[in-house]
Amino acid sequence: MENEERIQVLDGLEAVRSLPGMYIGSTGPVGLHHLVSEVVDNSIDEAMAGHCSTIDVTLNRDGSATISDDGRGIPVYIIEDYGKPAVEIVMTTLHAGGKFDKSTYKVSGGLHGVGVSVVNALSEWLRVEIHRGGKVHVQEYARGVPKGDLLVIGETDRTGTAIIFKPDPRIFQETEFTFGTLSKRLRELAYLNRGVRIVIKDERDEPYPPSVDTYQFDGGIVSFVEYLNENKNTLHDPAYFKKQKDSTDIEIAIQYNEGYADNILSFVNSINTKEGGTHLSGFKTALTRSINRYAKANNLVKNGDISGRDTLEGLTAVISARLASPQFEGQTKMKLGNIEVKGLVQSLVGEGLDEFLEENPKAAKKIIDKILEAAKAWEAAKKARELTRRKSALETSSLPGKLADCSERDPAKSEIYLVEGDSAGGCFHGDTEVALADGRRLSFKEIVTEQSMGKDHFCYTIRRDGQVGLERIRNARMTRANAEVVRVTLDTGETLICTPDHPFMLRDSSYKPAAALTPDDSIMPLYRKLSDISESGITIDKYEMAWDPRSETWLFTHVLADWYNRWQGVYAKADGDHCHHTDFNKHNNNPTNIRRLPRDEHMELHRVHINRTLHTPEAIEKCRKIHQSEEFRAMMSERMLQPETRQIMSEQANAQWEDVAYKAYMVERWRAFYDANEDYRQENNQRLYQAQHEYWSDEDNRQAQAERVRQYFTDHPEVRGAFSECAKQQWQDKDLLEWRREKTRQQWTPEFRAKRHAALHRTYYAKTIAALKQFRTEQDELDLDAYCAHRLATRDSTLLRFDSFCRRYFDGDAMRAHEAVLNHNHRIVSVERVDERVDVYDIEVPGTHNFALAGGVFVHNSAKQGRDRKFQAILPLRGKILNVEKARLHKILRNNEIRTMITAFGAGIGEEFDITKARYHKISIMTDADVDGSHIRTLLLTFLYRYMPELIEAGYVYIAQPPLYQVKKGKVRRYAFTDEELNAIREEIGETGVTVQRYKGLGEMNPSQLWETTMDPETRTMLQVTIEDAMEADRMFTILMGDAVEPRRAFIEEHAREVENLDV
C-alpha cells in the first residue's frame, strides 16, 4: 500500500507558467497536445504496473479534455509534512509522484516527465476525480491553484482517476485539440501495451464531426509491425522475441518487406526514443551477427561479411524496452543510455533470430537474397557517387549549370527554390535578337558584350496597363550551358530557339510555355514602321512608330521614351512641349537620348544645327553660283517640258491636299460653303439618296444578295430543317414560353443590361478581330468573302459583319479597322524539338518583366527574375523526378534531377550526408497548383524524407504557397489563397468590373507578381515541413508512392470529398 514516504516532493511550479516552453516544448499545437499525453502517460504507468486495463479520452463540448482510467486512483491520504492530501501535492508540485519510488511502479515512462502538475499549472481550470477506497474524491483548481479542499462527494464500487482540464488561452496560441493527432498517439500506446483498451471520443459540436476510435491489440508489437507493413509486400510473417531479466523486459518484432527503406521504431516505457540509444545499437549489432552467421553456415555468402547497413534494407522493426530506472540522455528522452540494456538486447536478438532463421529456411533465403542485392546496390551507388565527384572536379564549377545561385554565402541567410520546368533555368539562344529602342536589333551575346563596356539598352515592353512602352535592360547574361531547346516558327517566317518552357505572351497578356504553343494561339505582337507624312494626321517624316495593342493605334517611339522619362522623374511635362533627340538621330529613341524643350528653343536648336551643316556661307554661295549658270537654266527649261516632270508637278499638287493644315483649311472653307448654301445641301442629299436607291433598284444587285442567302441554305438543308423543327417544338410549349418570358423580365434589370452590354462589347471585338486576322492575304489584304463564309459556316453569333465591326469600334473607318486587324497578333506555325543543345541567355526587365524580340513577339523573364538575387537561388527541375520509393540508391543516383539537387544542396546523401555542409537553410518546393504540381511536390518530399530526413528535422524544408486567384478591379489587384479569401474580397470590393484569374501554373504570373505573392519574405506564405509522427509519415509515403494499388485507391476514395480545388 502507498504511504506518505512514497510521495517525494522535488520542486515547485513557480516557473511553469512564466516559461511553459521549457516544460512542454512550445505553446503551439505540439505543446497543447502534449498536455493530454502527460495525463495519459500516468494511466499508462498504471497499466504497465498491471493495475489498469481501460483508458478513456474525451474531447468535451466546452473545449476541455477528460482522461480517465480504471487504475488504483491517485492517493488521497494526508502527507504530514505538508498537511495536505497526496493528490494535492501531486497536482501542485513539480516532479511529485509515486513513480519516483521504485517500489510503487516496476517501470514508468516519466522519469524525466513533468507530470500532471504542469498540466494543472497551464490549464484555465482543472478537476480531478478519484475513485478509491469506496469513495469518490473531487478537487478543483484554477491555473494551478486549488479552489478548495479535497471533497468526498459520494460512494463508489470501482477505482480509477479522471482528470478534466481546459487549456489556458493566456498560455496557448490556440486551445482546440485535433482529434487525429491525439488518436495516432493513443493507437501507438495501445500497440505497445498489449491488451490495454484505449478509447478516444470527440463530443464537440460543429464543425467537429462526432468521432470514436477504439484501440486494443492483443498482438501487441507484432500487430504494430503488421500495421507498419500493411501496404507493403512482405517477405515473411513477423518474428517476435521477448526476454525478461530482473526488472527489465525486452520485446522485439521484425519483418522484412520488398521496399528499400528501413523503419525501425524503438521505445522505452512506451516513450518513442527517436534518437535510439543502447537498445537500438544492441539490436543492430545482433542483427548483423545473426545474418552473417546464418549466411556463412549455409554458404549463401562467399567472400567477406555482410555489412550492418545492408541488413537494414526493407526492415520493419519495433523494439520495446521496459526498465525500472531508465537513463535518458537529456530532457527530451530521445536516447536511452542504460549500458546493461545493450547486452540484454544482443542476447535476445542473437538467440531469437538464429532460431527463427533455422526454423524458417524459405524466409531466411528471401531475407539473405534481399540483403545481398542491397549490398550490390550500395556498391553501385558508391561508384556512382565517386563518378559524380570526379565529373564535378573536372568541370569549371562544381555547381549545376541550371542552378541560378544567390550571392549570399551564409547558409543561414540563403534560400533555394525548387521549381518546375527548365524555363526558370534559361531563355533564348545567344544569337536571338532583341528589338531595341535605339533602332537596332542586337543578339543576347552582343548585348552582354556592350553591357560589359558600360552601354545602356532599352527594349519594348507591355506595361501593366496593357500599353506598349519602353524599359531598361539589366543583367544580360548566359543563364545555362548546354540546354535543351525547341525551335518556334512564327507566321512571319522568323524562327526562335529557346528553352521548352519559356513563356510567350499571348494577346490577352497571359503567358504560355513555348513547348505548349499551337497554331491556334494568338501571340502579343510588336509592329514597327517609319512615319510617312502622306498619311493622315502625320506631320513628321521618317520617325519610328510602334503599334499599341491596347488602343489599336500607332504611337511614336520617342513619345514612349518621353513617357518613360517623365515616369522616372528625369524631367516634367512643363519643361517643354517638344521632344528632342539629343544626338539628332531620330531613330535613336533611347530615353537617355530624349529631352523636353520649349518649341522655340527646339526650333532654334535645329536652325543652329542646319546653319552648321547645310546653311554655311560656303554652301549657300556654291548653290547660288550653280543656279545662275547657263547649264542649270537650260536643264530646268528642258525638264519642265517633259511628261515626267508634268506628272511630278501633278503629284505634288495632289500631295498638297495631303497636308493636314491645308486640308483642314479647305475643309473649313467647304463646310462654310455647305452651311451657307441651302440649295447645295439639298442637291447633295438627293445625290446620296439617288445613289443607294439606284444600287438596290438594280435587279442584279438584289438577286445577287438573294442568291447568296439561297445558296447557303441549299448547301446546308439540315440547317433549314433544324431551324424549322426547333422553332415548331419551342412554340408549342406554352408553359415553357411563359416561364421563359417571366424569367427574362426578372433578369433584365438595368444593371444586368449594362454589364451584359459591356461584356458583349469586349467579346464581339476580341472574337471578330482574331477571326478576321485568319483571312489575311499575302498582299496584306483581308479576304472578306472568305470571312463571311466562315461566319455563316460556324454560325458564331459573336463574329460581327465587317461593316458592323467598323461602325461599332472604328467610327465606320474601314482603313483603321483593316490596320487594326493586320496588326492584331502573330501566330505560331510550328514548335519543334532541336537535337542540338545550346547555351541560353536571359535579360532582366524591371517592373514589367517582359520584352519584345526582334522577331516581333513579346516574351517574359523566367521565375529567376521574381527573386532577390542576393539570398534567393532557383533550381529548375525538368518534369517529375524518379519515385525513390520504388528504386534503390544506385538507380536514384542515375537520375539527373536528383543528382542536381544533391550537388546544389551540398550536404551529400546516404552515409556521406552532413547537414553542416548544407548550402541553404531554406529549401522551398514551389510547384504549380495542379495535379502534376502536386505529384512533383510529393515526389520531392518522398526523396527528402527517405534520403535527407535531417533537412526536414532541422526545419529547412518548406512548401511555397502561391495564390490561387488574382482579383482585379480597375488598377486594384488583390490575391486570394483560398476560396474563402476570394469570397471575402468579392464582398469587400463588389462584383461590378471585377475580373478573377485562377492560377494553375507559376508561368501564368509575371515575375513581379511571383515576387509579391510567393517569394517576398515580407508578404509570402510558406508551410514548414515537419515530421510529427514518423510512423504515420512512413505509412503515408508508402500508400501514396508505393507499389500497392488498392491502399492508394482506398485512400483516394476515403478523402475524395475533402478535395476543394481539382485542376487537371
CA distance 1047 to 1064: 22
Same domain, 449 and 520: yes
Same domain, 190 and 68: yes
Average of pLDDT values for 452-473?
A: 93
Is 14 domain-assigned? yes
Say what the pLDDT of residue 111 is.
34
> Alpha helix (H) ranges present in 404-556?
444-452
Domain boundary among 824, 856, 886: 824
**CATH (domain of 449):** 2.170.16.10
Is 365 domain-assigned? yes
Is 892 domain-assigned? no
Same domain, 265 and 153: no
Most confidently modeled range among 120-129, 717-726, 822-831? 120-129
C-beta atoms surrounding 578 within 10 Å: 16
Domain boundary among 356, 385, 414: 385
Same domain, 200 and 228: no
Pairing of strands 315-322, 263-268: parallel
Average of pLDDT values for 82-111?
A: 64
Pull the grid cell for residue 582: 539629343
Same domain, 192 and 293: no
pLDDT for 202-234, tens place per residue?
Answer: 999 888 888 999 999 999 999 999 999 988 889
pLDDT at 1058 > cutoff 60: no
Say what the pLDDT of residue 359 is.
93
What pTM was estimated for this model as a whole? 0.56
Closest listed residue to residue 798, CA positions, set 831, 826, 828, 770: 770
Same domain, 59 and 155: yes
CA distance 734 to 727: 13
CA distance 820 to 773: 9
Same domain, 848 and 816: no
Output phi, psi for 471, to 5 deg: -150, 150
Closest listed residue to residue 924, CA positions, set 959, 956, 876, 954: 959
CA distance 403 to 411: 16
Of 34-43, 621-630, 1038-1047, the range with the lowest mean pLDDT is 1038-1047
Is 967 domain-assigned? no
Say what the pLDDT of residue 1014 is.
85
Say what the pLDDT of residue 384 is.
67
pLDDT for 653-698, tens place per residue?
Answer: 777 777 766 777 777 777 777 777 887 778 878 887 777 777 777 7
Does 759 or 951 have the greater pLDDT score? 951
Pull the grid cell for residue 369: 537474397
pLDDT at 426 > cutoff 70: no
pLDDT at 338 > cutoff 60: yes
332 pLDDT band, cuts 50/70/90, is low
pLDDT at 191 > cutoff 80: yes
pLDDT at 242 > cutoff 60: yes
Say what the pLDDT of residue 220 is.
94
CA distance 1050 to 1027: 23
Does 927 or 226 have the greater pLDDT score? 226
Same domain, 857 and 805: no
Say what the pLDDT of residue 1062 is.
44
Mean pLDDT across the chain: 83
Average of pLDDT values for 860-888?
A: 76
> Alpha helix (H) ranges present in 514-584?
557-568
Is 613 domain-assigned? no
Number of residues that this document lists for the chain? 1064
Cell 514548335 locates to 831
Where do the DSSP E strands lie in 694-853?
826-844, 850-852
Closest listed residue to residue 852, CA positions, set 456, 471, 454: 471
Is 71 domain-assigned? yes
Is 312 domain-assigned? yes
Say what the pLDDT of residue 862 is.
55
Same domain, 345 and 481: no
Output phi, psi for 320, to 5 deg: -125, 120
Number of domains in the chain: 4
Say what the pLDDT of residue 6 is.
45
Of 45-59, 114-128, 246-260, 317-331, the range with the lowest mean pLDDT is 317-331
Average of pLDDT values for 572-584?
A: 88
DSSP characters for 923-941? Answer: EEEE--SSHHHHHHHHHHH
Say what the pLDDT of residue 274 is.
85
Share of the chain above pLDDT 90, in %: 34
Same domain, 438 and 381: no
Same domain, 192 and 235: no
Say what the pLDDT of residue 3 is.
47
Say what the pLDDT of residue 756 is.
56
Same domain, 174 and 47: yes
Say what the pLDDT of residue 106 is.
44
Cell 521477448 locates to 242
pLDDT for 594-636, tens place per residue?
Answer: 999 888 888 877 777 766 556 667 667 777 778 788 887 777 7
CA triplet 1059, 1060, 1064: central angle to 5 degrees?
80
**CATH (domain of 144):** 3.30.565.10
**CATH (domain of 280):** 3.30.230.10
Is 159 domain-assigned? yes
Domain boundary among 198, 215, 232: 215
pLDDT at 788 > cutoff 80: yes
Which domain, by its residues, includes 183?
4-215
